[in-house]
Amino acid sequence: MKTAKMLTDDRIVELYWARSESAITETAAKYGGYCRSIAYNILFDAQDAEESVNDTYLDAWNAMPPHRPTALSTFLGKITRRISIDRWRRRHADKRGGGVMPAVLDELADCASPDDVESAIEQSEMARIITAFLDTLPTDERRVFLCRYWFMEPTAAIAKAFGYSESKTVSMLFRTRKKLREILEKEGYL
């Protein structure tokens, strides 16, 4: 009889805390695919995506302990997202590249300062603002927004998943970005 390796999230976290290298193996077995899909959406390159996922495991190893995530999947996904975006920025500093990232950044320019000036803003303040903003959105609108700008999914894929037309998805995202811009203006960041 043959069965799968599938550890509970608690046990995987315990392995990290116990400094057991099998933590990485178990993480890869359980969440490798999940992380790869996030990385690939951003980087649009299998090899780059694989490197980002490997870096994710290393970051997770360094973060635990002391960190003990409440949702391991989201914790790992967040690391992958950050690493992949950084990688994308480094590799595409002088060119546009493929994937959804150029389009995502173009869309987010709707919410940015007209002159694209950097603001001094703490990470905790960012978390407060985005949480307050997401709290105001209807459920599906919030999900669509996060699928696009957190998971970097193509609009066609989002439309298919939600049963919307692509044009409806695009206009929904446009309205949501407008709301985000209003919040940022109100908070004094634009």
Q: Which residues bind another protein (CB under 8 A)?
A: 1-11, 14, 17-19, 30, 33-34, 65-66, 68, 70-71, 73-75, 77-78, 81-82, 85, 89, 104-105, 108-109, 111-113, 116-119, 121, 123, 126-127, 129-131, 134, 139-140, 142-143, 146-147, 149-151, 161-163, 180, 184, 189-190
Q: Of 81, 84, 74, 96, which Cα lies nearest the Cα of 46?
A: 84
Supply the minimum distance, in Å, between the C-beta of residue 177 and another protein.
9
Among residues 34 and 44, whose Cβ is nearest to another protein?
34
What are the structure tokens assigned to 126, written together?
């960012």
Among residues 45 and 84, whose Cβ is nearest to another protein?
84
Supply the minimum distance, in Å, between the C-beta of residue 163 and another protein.
3
Supply the minimum distance, in Å, between the C-beta of residue 17 and another protein.
6
Supply the minimum distance, in Å, between the C-beta of residue 167 and another protein.
16
Cβ-based neighbours of 26, under 8 Å, separated by 6 or more: 5, 7, 11, 12, 15
CA distance 87 to 186: 32
Residues 126, 172, 118, CA angle at the centre, nearest 5°? 30
Contact 43, 49 (CB under 8 A): yes
